[in-house]
């Protein structure tokens, strides 16, 4: 799940919110598997509540509608983690912009896409 940074939240030391942004990874389920391992080995025991938001870019959307099996598999593993640990919730959220390919510029809509993702993370947080 990449870099971990604790942000101060007045009056709350028992809540950890993890956000994983999937841009165009070949196997996004791997990140949710890493989370499961951390939970199982006690790596996140200091937190009473763990909220996991895995944000998927439009790269994982299908032209015919719906989402790719890569995204479905990652969300499935995340839901398994939430089912296995009472203190964990998992949310697959949208980062509704197509990420640029190497060397290309970000589309003009990326700030609005980021705002959509941040709103979804805030909504998922107790």
Q: Which residues in the chain show pLDDT less than 50? A: 1-2
pLDDT value, residue 107: 92
pLDDT value, residue 126: 86
Q: Where does residue 78 rank: exposed (0-12), middle (13-18), buried (19+ CB within 10 A)?
A: buried
């Amino acid at each position: 799940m990449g870099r971990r940074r604790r942000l101060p939240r007045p009056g709350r030391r028992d809540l950890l919110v993890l956000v994983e942004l999937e841009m165009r990874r070949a196997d996004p389920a791997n990140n949710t598997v890493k989370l499961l391992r951390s939970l199982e080995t006690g790596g996140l025991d200091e937190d009473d509540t763990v909220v996991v938001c895995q944000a998927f870019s439009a790269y994982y959307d299908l032209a015919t509608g719906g989402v790719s099996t890569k995204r479905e598999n990652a969300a499935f593993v995340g839901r398994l983690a939430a089912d296995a640990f009472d203190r964990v919730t998992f949310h697959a959220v949208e980062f509704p912009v197509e990420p640029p390919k190497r060397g290309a510029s970000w589309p003009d809509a990326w700030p609005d896409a980021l705002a959509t993702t941040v709103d979804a993370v805030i909504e998922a947080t107790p």
